[in-house]
Amino acid sequence: MGYQQQDASELLGFLLDGLHEDLNRIVDKPTTEKVESDGRPDAVVAREAWELYRQRNDSIVVDTMQGQLKSTVVCPECDYISITFDPFMFLQVPFPVRRDKTQIITVVFADPDKPVTVYGPKVEKNGSIFSLKTSLSELCHVKASNLEICEIWTKRIYKIHSDSGNNSEIRADDVIWAFEVSDIPTEGNDAPKANDVAICRMFQQERKRNAYFRPGSFYPKEFSYSEFGLPLVVSVPSKTTSREIRQRVRDAMRPFVDFELFSATSAMDDESSEPNEDSSSSSSSSSSKSPDPYQILVMDRGGRACLSCNHLRSCDGCELSPDSDDIINVSNDHVTFALVWNDKALFKRSHYNEPILHSSAPVTRSSSSRSGYGISKDHAVDLADCIDSFARKERLSEQDAWYCKKCKLHRRATKKFDIWKCPDIFIISLKRFTYTQQYRDRINTLVNFDVEGLDMAPWIVDENHGAAVYDLYAVSNHMGGMGGGHYTAYAQNLINSKWYSLDDSYVTELRDPKQCVSSSAYVLYYKKRGVDVVMHSISSAPEEGEELSDDDTDDPNAQSSVHAI
């Protein structure tokens, strides 16, 4: 363990298992077999399974901190039912699974009179990207086929989601924009085929001359570039020309740039310049020849290097020819165009500065969000909802198929967990960390849990169970993400019943125990009401060489108590 960071829930399990083994009263452990119901009453099977377990495991940890779960597995083919009972140290409860979600999307319209707008369409979590387009289309009144769903990262288009993709690929903190692309003009009434249209991704840069540049030096470079504004998406024929690409970009930028005024200003500057004035660099001369207030550089997919030149040349991108009619194939997804703006560019107007919010978008402006917009508040859930999710029936996956003794085959059976017996010290771990094949994520949803009076009776299936009301006495908090974080705790002093916040070496008293309820809560510690929690002092411990009497350890009528360990 050492000084390395550990997950609180995993560390807790490691410590309790170690304490149990050190305090286990069983030295020679007999061989036992797993008990199954085979049609017998649950109470009989549960008692038999617990007695067999205690033959190998008998410690104060088992006495006070371990309960019993009932597991029911049903074969979908032959309806064979397998019921087993297993011990548990703490209950790991998942968050309720919602089948739908609100996806925050910022839409950039092709119509210059429509401002950039933030929408919040409701979609199925496992639905297709095309279904997301359809839902968004109903809100923004743009044909779904004319929308391109893109993930934005550092003012660049990181990914264009295909229609066949899944909404689950979009994580909660991804910045998603939708661009309206114009139809490709065709001759006659025939619409262009899907493979005849390519989507070009572009981002905008401003260029500044480096004051420390010296001719002939390798570093620093003459110019430095920085991204600004928004990326662009334009549709062009898959086999097109430089002239066509420039025209499509010009059409997309026309709402924001006064091209006529720029051309007039450039002409006046050319007339006023001296005939013998030397152009300082090839890049600036090529820029002056461009009819637009920007250069279009051809770059690789990531927009970090020139697509054509060897990386050893340190080329920032070769310029797209201003008026070439040579055919260019842009059907693959390996080309990105950078718009490097001339410092003479004159913007007519801009809707990019502050998008407006549609009524469907439950968002607020947030500087902490990568997009600047985030969900205003995570939907809080109750602890009862999490326990219900734990006890919900589920179908096993192909990888977790269960072997049916009757069919003699592995089946995707249905499985259900129920609580049979709750321990005196009841620990609940919230499964805030999720793992999939593509992503790892932390769930920041607030869970409302009881500080006093948590009644577990509705979830205990043993009809003869006693009272099961619990009071909270500690909370382990996690703040951060998957890569790292910080742990704090709230704990109740069992002597004066006051609550304290524990943050490394800082200890402060809480004004209200309900301050424990936060979105950082990770592990919850409850004790059963009516159970005497005894804090042993050194004076009450046995003297050196003194042994506990059999009466102290084996008296079944002794008062129930929980010892601090």
Look up the CATH number of domain 8-97+378-563: 3.90.70.10
C-alpha 328: how far from chain center: 39
User: Under a CB-based contact definition with an 8 Å cutoff, are residues 148 and 202 in contact?
Assistant: no
User: How would you classify the pairing of strands 402-404 and 409-411?
Assistant: antiparallel
Are 341 and 294 in contact, with CB atoms under 8 Å apart? yes
pLDDT of residue 379: 66
Question: For 128, which DSSP code?
Answer: B
Q: How many CB atoms lie within 10 A of CB 149?
A: 24
Nearest partner of 522 among 90, 168, 99, 173, judged by Cα: 90
Give yes or no for a contact between 422 and 460, defined as CB atoms under 8 angstroms apart.
yes
User: Biggest alpha carbon distance in the chain?
Assistant: 111
Task: Retrieve residue 290's tokens.
Answer: 């461009």
294 touches 345 (CB < 8 A): yes
Distance CA(343)–CA(345), nearest Å, equals 6
State residue 229's pLDDT score. Answer: 61
Which amino acid is residue 331, in one-letter code? S
pLDDT of residue 26: 86
CA triplet 451, 453, 454: central angle to 5 degrees? 80
Counting as low any pLDDT under 50, the low residues of the chain are 1-3, 187-197, 277-288, 346, 349-351, 365-378, 535-545, 548-565
Q: Is 484 left (phi over 0), alpha (psi -120 to 50) or beta?
A: left
**Are 335 and 301 within 8 A, CB to CB?**
yes
**Which residues, other chains included, contact 509 with Cβ-Cβ below 8 Å and sequence gap of 6+?**
498, 499, 500, 501
Q: Which of 14, 25, 98, 83 is closest to 56 using CA atoms?
A: 25
**Closest among 447, 427, 453, 443 to 517, alpha carbons compared:** 447
247: left (phi over 0), alpha (psi -120 to 50) or beta: alpha
Q: Which of 421, 217, 242 is nearest to 323 (CA)?
A: 242
Cα dist from 322 to 185, 317, 473, whole Å: 21, 15, 72
The residue extents of the domains of the chain are: 8-97+378-563, 105-186+194-267+281-360
pLDDT at residue 136, as a whole number: 94
Torsion over CA: 326, 331, 333, 334 (sign) = negative
* pLDDT value of position 141: 92
Helices within 187-346 (DSSP H only): 242-253, 259-272, 282-289
Report residue 559 CA to chain centroid gap: 48
| pLDDT of amino acid 318 | 78
Report pLDDT for 294. 76
Could you tell me the two tokens for 491? 């704990």
Measured CA to CA, the distance from residue 381 to residue 444 in angstroms comes to 11
DSSP state letters, 194-223? GGGEEEEEEEEEEEEE-TT--TT-SSS-SE
CA-only gyration radius of the chain, Å:
33
Say how far residue 223 (Cα) sits from the centre of its chain.
Answer: 38
391, 420 Cβ separation under 8 angstroms: no
Q: What is the pLDDT of residue 242?
A: 81
